[in-house]
Structure 1
Amino acid sequence: MNRSLASLLLLASLVLAKPTLVPNYGLPAPPVYPVAPPKYAFEYAVNDPPAGNQFGHSETRDGYRTDGEYFVHLPDGRVQTVTYYADQTGYYPTVHYKGAAVYPTARAYHAPAPAYHAPAPAYHAPVYGHH
């Protein structure tokens, strides 16, 4: 009987409880933004010859569709460009290369000549007093 009465009182307290609000400590309410499909565009490029860096990226988005392109100058002299679009079904890139790869000529390898070193003399303890 006591268990059922305790359960009933607990249930009644949960039903009658008022939700408590978290205090905002006098801060203004956060802004409410209208729900709208995302829309943006950006572009940047880096050209730093002393460091050997040259790359860039541009992208636009309107709703679920995003279109973009990025490029990088590769160490072998080519330019790699990736053109892409993305939507709710996935990401679809197309990769292109411009120019021909150029590699420095490798120097011929010459193995060092083996060097012979005479072994160090064995240690001999000094002999004291001759007979």
Structure 2
Amino acid sequence: MNTKVFFLLGLVAVVAADKRPALAYGPPPVSSEEFEAPKYGFDFVVQDAESGNDFAHQETRDDDNTKGSYTIQLPDGRRQTVTYYVDGDSGFIADVQYEGEARYPDSSEVGRYSPPAAPSSRYGAP
């Protein structure tokens, strides 16, 4: 009798284990959706005299052809303009130009660095 019960329980366990979903890794399922080639354009300009921020960026893309440029006001006073394009597999091709002359502060304009004071190791009662 015990043998029949163990045999029946073993058979139930095998059947139950067979119905569990199989977890397998593989490539994602192929989608039948078709995607359009990327096409966009944008541009922006930031000019803030108070903070000294002066930069711009513009770019257009049609499929694998991308063209654009960006301009930055460098801390040394020069203006840097980068014109670039990407045409298919050619990679990122950039032309960098500078306007103006670099100007560095005179030694009298540069303050001496003094490290911050060490924090107190004592804390007062709240």
**TM-score, normalisation: structure 1:** 0.55
> What is the letter of the counterpart of residue 58 of structure 2?
S
The answer for the alignment partner of 1:101 in structure 2 is 102
Percent of residue pairs bearing the same amino acid type: 43
**Counterparts of 2:19 and 2:76 in 1: how far apart (Å)?**
76
Q: In structure 2, do the counterparts of structure 1 residues 104 and 36 end up closer, same or farther at CA, with 3 Å as the change threshold?
A: same
Q: Which has more radius of gyration?
A: 1
Q: Aligned-residue CA RMSD in angstroms?
A: 3.1
Structure 2: segments with no counterpart, 5+ residues: 1-12, 22-32, 110-126
Task: Please state how far the C-alpha of 1:67 moved relative to its aligned partner.
Answer: 0.5
* Runs (4+) off by over 6 Å: 10-14
> What is the letter of the counterpart of residue 106 of structure 2?
T
**Counterparts of 2:20 and 2:47 in 1: how far apart (Å)?**
68
Task: Please state how far the C-alpha of 1:75 moved relative to its aligned partner.
Answer: 1.5
The answer for the alignment partner of 2:60 in structure 1 is 60
**Counterparts of 1:106 and 1:59 in 2: how far apart (Å)?**
41
Structure 1: segments with no counterpart, 5+ residues: 1-5, 15-32, 109-131
> What is the letter of the counterpart of residue 76 of structure 1?
D
The answer for the alignment partner of 1:80 in structure 2 is 80
**TM-score, normalisation: structure 2:** 0.57
Task: Please state how far the C-alpha of 1:41 moved relative to its aligned partner.
Answer: 0.6
Residue correspondence of structure 1 range 43-58 to structure 2 within 5 A: 43-58=43-58
**Counterparts of 2:83 and 2:66 in 1: how far apart (Å)?**
11
SS at match of 1:47: strand
Indicate if the aligned counterparts of 1:72 and 1:79 stay in contact, CA closer than 8 A: yes
Task: Please state how far the C-alpha of 1:13 moved relative to its aligned partner.
Answer: 9.4
Question: Is 1:92 matched up with 2:93?
Answer: yes
**Counterparts of 1:91 and 1:78 in 2: how far apart (Å)?**
24
**Counterparts of 1:49 and 1:12 in 2: how far apart (Å)?**
71
SS at match of 2:58: strand
Task: Please state how far the C-alpha of 1:97 moved relative to its aligned partner.
Answer: 0.5
> What is the letter of the counterpart of residue 64 of structure 2?
Y
Indicate if the aligned counterparts of 1:68 and 1:83 stay in contact, CA closer than 8 A: yes
| Number of residue-to-residue matches in the alignment | 92
